[in-house]
Amino acid sequence: MKNSTQALHFGAGNIGRGFIGKLLADAGIAVTFADVNDTVVNALKEKKQYTVDVVGEKSEQCLVTGVDALHSITDDVPAKIATVDMITTAVGPTVLKMVAPAIAIGIVLRQEQGNKTPLNIIACENMVRGSSQLKEMVLAELSKSQQAYVARYVGFVDSAVDRIVPPTENSASDPLRVTVETFSEWIVDQTQFCGEIPNIPGMELTDQLLAFVERKLFTLNTGHATTAYLGMLKGYATIAEAINDHDIEQSVRNTMAESGEVLIRRFGFDTQQHANYINKIIQRFRNPHLHDEIVRVGRQPIRKLGADDRLIKPLAGTLEYNVANDNLVRAIAAAFLYENNDDEQAVEVQNIIRQQGIDSAVSRFTSLTQNSRPCQSIVQSYQQLQAA
The response to whether 332 counts as a known ligand-binding position is no
Cα separation, 94 vs 1, in Å, equals 35
The response to whether 269 counts as a known ligand-binding position is no
The response to whether 333 counts as a known ligand-binding position is no
The response to whether 18 counts as a known ligand-binding position is yes
The response to whether 197 counts as a known ligand-binding position is no
The response to whether 119 counts as a known ligand-binding position is no
Cα separation, 379 vs 363, in Å, equals 10
- Evaluate whether 311 touches 304 at the Cβ level (below 8 Å): yes
The response to whether 211 counts as a known ligand-binding position is no
The response to whether 170 counts as a known ligand-binding position is no
The response to whether 10 counts as a known ligand-binding position is yes
Q: Specify the amino acid at residue 329.
A: V
The response to whether 13 counts as a known ligand-binding position is yes
- Evaluate whether 32 touches 70 at the Cβ level (below 8 Å): yes
Comparing C-alpha atoms, which of 84, 85, 95 is closest to residue 37?
Answer: 95
Q: What is the DSSP letter of 175?
A: T
- Evaluate whether 108 touches 146 at the Cβ level (below 8 Å): yes
- Helices then strands, counting H and E runs in the chain, come out as 19, 12
List the strands of the sheet with 185-189, edge to edge.
159-162, 185-189, 203-206
Question: What is the CB-side half-sphere exposure of residue 328 using CA atoms within 13 A?
Answer: 28
Compute CA 63 distance to the chain's CA centroid, rounded to the nearest angstrom.
24
Comparing C-alpha atoms, which of 330, 340, 383 is closest to residue 358?
Answer: 383
Cα separation, 85 vs 175, in Å, equals 28
Q: In the chain, at which residue ranges do the beta strands (DSSP E only) sit? A: 6-10, 30-35, 49-55, 60-65, 67-71, 86-89, 119-123, 154-156, 159-162, 178-181, 185-189, 203-206
Query: Binding site for NAD(+): which residues?
Result: 7-18
Query: Binding site: which residues?
Result: 7-18
